[in-house]
């Protein structure tokens, strides 16, 4: 006898799905192109101090975090396509405005607004793809979709490092503008499913600054898991280069990010399918273990071999946690709150990634880099404990979503 689980699910690979992948690739490529090199540009162009240059880079994330508080509700109220078009239109303009920025203050202002546009566009395209995916293949489709982010992680920093090394910053800004414009062209073609007018919240009825409006409560439990894991990952983003130099292996951190980008591709081809069929535990428990092992590996040394191994483990760990947790957040939320659920998830991830460097930077003088990565591994353990307390078990995302909703 054929059971619902054995019946073939609708296809993930539709034309609209490919368009979402293209838009996300364009959006993410701009982020990784500029974030990798903008601090160095601030130093070279404006003689900025290291701390100011660091804030110039992180101000983009500050803008993105700010947008998350209203972005999800805006997507649900104004519509996915309309929000995406407005956000990407602003994204193109702000990408261009790096060129005439002739002061450090103006550059930081552009970075802040650029982050806001990124946050809105990222939320809109993520909500669009979640609306396109069949519920029975949500985790699988999310993993495929986020391969576009993996590609931008691999390509963006590589191009940025090459251009920055030659002082070709203008070319980098033109390239980021072209990438943003490409995303806008794709968005003009995209026609994501929208909520029926009668089910869509009306702008005049929305209490925009009410916590229940800005955050989807049913997505909070898994968002907390992502916050701890994002904070742990930020220890690598913020300190890997400095660690490798201090340990006598300058440049070895580049091998980490290369291995990370490549290794995360493989599990995303099948992890989502396992999650849809058997529940998130079968995917997330090994991922937590791999991620913690990656951070513990970094406590040994910053040699090229160690960085390569840690990068592979991180791709198999954190690279799986991100799409898996996003799928859980959406599955736990009602259809008319998908935009807010996506925004809640990314808000937690951005907060972890943004606040983590503050914690770990203050720990370096006290514990050294080895201690930093032990603390980061412990944060992964805290995230795993939070996930265990939710007790999502049983086959299929539907049962897990129900349990998460009741948490």
Q: pLDDT tens digits, residue range 5-42?
A: 555 567 888 999 999 999 999 999 998 888 877 888 88
Q: pLDDT tens digits, residue range 74-96?
A: 888 888 999 999 999 999 999 99
Fold observed for domain 215-407:
Growth Hormone; Chain: A; (1.20.1250)
The domain covering 13-204 belongs, at the CATH homologous superfamily level, to: MFS general substrate transporter like domains (1.20.1250.20)
Please report how many Cα atoms fall inside a 13 Å half-sphere around the Cα of residue 302, on the Cβ side. Answer: 22
pLDDT of 107 reads: 96
pLDDT of 203 reads: 61
Domain with CATH 1.20.1250.20 in the chain: 13-204, 215-407
User: The pTM is what?
Assistant: 0.79
pLDDT of 407 reads: 42
Q: Which portions of the chain are predicted below pLDDT 50?
A: 1-4, 393-407
pLDDT of 55 reads: 81
pLDDT of 401 reads: 45
């Amino acid at each position: 006898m054929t059971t619902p689980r054995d019946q073939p699910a609708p296809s993930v690979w539709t034309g609209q799905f490919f368009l979402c992948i293209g838009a996300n690739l364009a959006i993410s490529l701009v982020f990784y192109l500029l974030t990798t090199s903008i601090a160095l540009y601030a130093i070279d162009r404006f003689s900025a101090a290291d701390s100011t240059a660091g804030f110039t880079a992180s101000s983009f994330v500050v803008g993105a975090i700010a947008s998350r508080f209203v972005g999800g509700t805006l997507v649900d109220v104004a519509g996915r396509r309309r929000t995406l078009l407005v956000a990407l239109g602003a994204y193109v303009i702000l990408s261009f405005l790096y060129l005439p920025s002739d002061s450090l203050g103006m550059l930081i202002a552009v970075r802040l607004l650029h982050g806001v546009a990124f946050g809105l566009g990222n939320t809109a395209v993520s909500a669009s793809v979640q609306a396109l995916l069949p519920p029975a293949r949500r985790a699988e489709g999310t993993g495929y979709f986020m391969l576009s982010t993996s590609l931008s992680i691999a390509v963006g920093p590589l191009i940025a490092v090459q251009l920055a090394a030659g002082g070709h910053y203008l070319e980098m800004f033109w390239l980021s503008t072209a990438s943003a414009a490409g995303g806008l062209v794709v968005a003009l073609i995209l026609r994501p499913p929208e909520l029926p007018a009668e089910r869509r919240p009306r702008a005049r009825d929305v209490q925009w600054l009410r916590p229940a409006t800005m955050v989807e409560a049913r997505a909070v439990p898994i968002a907390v898991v992502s916050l701890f894991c994002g904070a742990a990952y930020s220890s690598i983003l913020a300190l890997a280069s400095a660690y490798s130099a201090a340990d006598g292996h300058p440049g070895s951190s580049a091998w980490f990010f290369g291995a990370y980008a490549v290794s995360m591709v493989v599990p995303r081809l099948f992890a989502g399918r396992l999650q849809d069929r058997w529940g998130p535990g079968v995917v997330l428990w090994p991922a937590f273990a791999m991620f913690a092992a990656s951070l513990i590996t970094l406590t040994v040394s910053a040699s090229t071999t160690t960085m390569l191994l840690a990068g592979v483990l991180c791709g198999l760990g954190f690279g799986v946690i991100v799409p898996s947790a996003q799928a859980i957040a959406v599955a736990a939320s009602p259809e008319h709150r998908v935009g807010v659920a996506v925004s809640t998830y990314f808000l937690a991830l951005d907060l972890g990634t943004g606040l983590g460097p503050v914690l770990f930077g203050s720990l370096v003088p006290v514990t050294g880099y080895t201690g930093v990565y032990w603390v980061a591994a412990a944060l992964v353990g805290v995230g795993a404990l939070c996930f265990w307390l939710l007790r999502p078990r049983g086959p299929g995302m539907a049962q897990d979503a129900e349990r998460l909703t009741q948490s």
